[in-house]
Amino acid sequence: MIVLDAPFLNLPEIPVDKFLPIFLNSSAVLLFGLFYVAIYTLVKMGYLKKIYMPFAYFFWCLQTYCLYYVIDALGSDPFTVKVLMIAMFGYLLLPHLYYYLNQRSEERYEQ
């Protein structure tokens, strides 16, 4: 059995005066991510007009900004910041890849 001592648990403490902004921004990361995927999916499925696609990207930008605020408020190290920003870039590209592969597979099976 592995027992971790206190020096191995290097978690930053959240200051009391920053708790509410961190909580609200971390909640906004989830909500803006949901809005980004929902609008993107509805536009790709044809339920919304293509004019609404910039709103999806706007919500992604808001999500990225809120995540960066949370990272900065918690005082994360530069490696964690880079990893999370790369993950956000992947979150931007993943729906594009999914719908591209979906469209290619439909074209393949129609032939």
Predicted TM-score (pTM) of this structure: 0.81
Tens digits of pLDDT across the chain (111 residues): 666 555 555 666 777 888 999 999 999 999 999 999 999 999 999 999 999 999 999 999 999 999 999 999 888 888 989 999 999 999 999 989 998 998 899 888 887
DSSP calls for 38-105: HHHHHHHHTSS-GGGHHHHHHHHHHHHHHHHHHHHHHT--HHHHHHHHHHHHHHHHHHHHHHHHHHHH
The residue type found at 33 is G
